[in-house]
Structure 1
Amino acid sequence: MGRDIRRQWKVLERWCPMVFLFAGTLLVGYATFNGIHAFTGIEYESAENVFGPGGFALGFLGLLGLYPALRDRSPKLARVGAICAVLGAVAFSVFVVANLGEIAGLISPDPPAWAVVFLAMAAIGMISGYLTFAVAVVRSDVHSRMLGLLLLVPLAIFATMLTTSRVGFFPQELAFAISSGQALAYLAIGYILRTGRTRTEREIPSNDVIVS
């Protein structure tokens, strides 16, 4: 049982870069729809409500892919980050399913009272999840420090969105800028992970034989 779980973690770790890149691709679509809305007035709300949460849900799955390499060097931070990432993944997955159900006419467009629970879970995931993983990456030497800094970008943009929404200032142009920033951040994270190597990979001795 334990071996199967470790194998599943390894699979998730191996696919982590591609998951982030795919999440970024969905968020590019999300930003595109926001841009169309901002500059033409044509709204594709249904598409926005699927592409955005879908990209964020995949982002949390990619975040979980960082856990195996970090759990030995920063176990507490990695564990807390993983829990927060699961909360965020569940919340945004629920949003995707609910929005698809609304498109299909199976769910009322009016959010139920319990929706606030998933909003809180999403906020915990975006802020605490990315923060703890960013700190864990910076404190360890498993991944590059640049990755740790990039992991701070999604939570910083999310915090900006929350702040501007709370003060009642959230024009569509700002929504386009924020979603574009998120898309670029996720694509950059995926690129860094795809082109970089972990410490474990760097420590694998070469099999090349030097012939004098």
Structure 2
Amino acid sequence: MASDTSSLWGSLERTRAAAFIVGGLIFVGDTAVLLWHLNAGTEPAAAGQALVGAAWTAAFVGLLGFYPSLRDRRPRLTKAGAVFAALGALAMAAMAAAMTGYATGLLSGDPGEAAMMLLPGIFLGIVFGFGLFGVTCLLTDVYAARVGLLFLVLPATFLFNLGTGIAGFNPLPKVIGVVVVLSVTFLAVGYLLWTGEARAAARGVDAPSDASAG
């Protein structure tokens, strides 16, 4: 399996497990915030959206860490996935920054308008970034199939949340359920990477973990 050890790509590859775990833990925090709002009978504010942006940004950084090990197997799919992942990372980082500005009073106006402006980049990043990397993982023998399947869970969950929201079904319990699924998925990917179970090792050969890389 080809990979970088000293370049920017190598740094992303070495830190991808931590990136997914951080993203998952941020979503755990967001779940707690949403549960508080549910108990209080209030609507989530911009601060919650800032957490969403931060969690997805971390996950996109982790996703880009898969590029070095997959680019030689499926170059076109991997390069396209990396482009969409980078776009998604930028869009989500911008959302995290904007929503933090609204939450702290540094920005005025409607946070929803800012979110809608960033939605195209977010959509392309999640659906095609994670989607293409998920398909690539399933088409190659570099990673266990469950890694590819977990990646595909993310765009499916995003599209479900977006579609039901457009249809007018957006109760807080549904949103909490979506965030829980995202959190568990991020943490599962991070765990598989950290323990070495993400890699499709040859039979009888122990796969190296990201924790021991470098």
TM (normalized to structure 2)? 0.86
- The alignment yields a C-alpha RMSD, in angstroms, of 2.4
Question: Secondary structure at the residue paired with 1:151?
Answer: helix
Preserved CA contact (<8 Å) 1:133 1:148: yes
Greater shift in the superposed pair: 128-137 or 29-38: 29-38
Alignment of 1:51-130 (within 5 A): 51-111=51-111, 116-130=116-130
**Count of residues paired in the alignment:** 201
For 1:146 and 1:177, the matched residues in 2 are separated by 21
- Taking a change above 3 Å as real, the CA distance of residues 107 and 126 of structure 1, as seen in their structure-2 partners, is same
Q: Which residue of the partner structure matches residue 209 of structure 1?
A: none
Judge conservation of contact 1:33–1:47 (CA < 8 Å) in 2: no
Cα drift, residue 103 of structure 1 = 2.5
Give the counterpart letter for 2:101 in structure 1: G
1:116 to partner: Cα distance: 3.8
Deviations 1:60-109 (CA, angstroms, capped at 9, x unpaired): 11110111100000111110100000111000111111112112322113
Larger Rg: 1
User: Residue 58 of structure 1 aligns to which amino acid in structure 2?
Assistant: A
Q: Does the CA contact (< 8 Å) of 1:88 and 1:124 recur in 2?
A: yes
Partner of 1:195: 195
C-alpha contact (below 8 Å) 1:38/1:172 kept by paired residues? yes
Asked whether the 8 Å contact 1:154–1:185 carries over to 2, the reply is yes
How far off its partner does 1:44 sit?
Answer: 5.2
Identify the residue that residue 208 of structure 1 maps to in structure 2.
none
Tell me the distance in 2 between the aligned counterparts of 1:44 and 1:167. 20
Q: How far did 1:172 drift?
A: 0.5
CA contact (8 A) 2:138 2:145 kept: yes
Q: Provide the rounded CA distance (Å) in 2 between the counterparts of 1:11 and 1:90.
A: 18
SS at match of 2:7: helix
Q: How big is the shift at 1:117? A: 4.2
The answer as to whether partners of 1:17 and 1:62 remain within 8 angstroms in 2 is: yes
Partners of 1:180 and 1:102 in 2: CA distance: 25
Which runs of 5 or more residues in structure 2 are unaligned?
208-214
Q: In the aligned structure 2, how far is the partner of 1:5 from the partner of 1:109? A: 45
| Residues 50 and 98 in structure 2, CA contact (< 8 A), matched pair in contact too | no
Whether the 8 Å CA contact 2:84–2:128 is kept in 1: the answer is yes
- Amino acid of the structure 2 residue aligned with 1:16: R
Unaligned 5+ segments in structure 1 are 205-212
Match of 2:10 in 1: 10
Q: How does 1:129-144 map to 2 (within 5 A)?
A: 129-144=129-144
Identity among equivalent positions (%) equals 33
Q: State yes or no: 1:148 paired with 2:132.
A: no
- Whole-angstrom CA distance in 1 between matches of 2:42 and 2:116: 29
Q: Which moved more, 1:96-105 or 1:174-183?
A: 96-105
Q: 2:102, 2:15 → 1: CA distance?
A: 31
Residue pair 1:36, 1:43 contacting (<8 A) in 2 also: no
TM-score, structure 1 normalization: 0.86
Q: Which residue type is aligned with residue 174 of structure 2?
A: L
| CA deviation after TM superposition for structure 1 residue 112, in Å | 8.6
1:175 aligns with 2:181: no
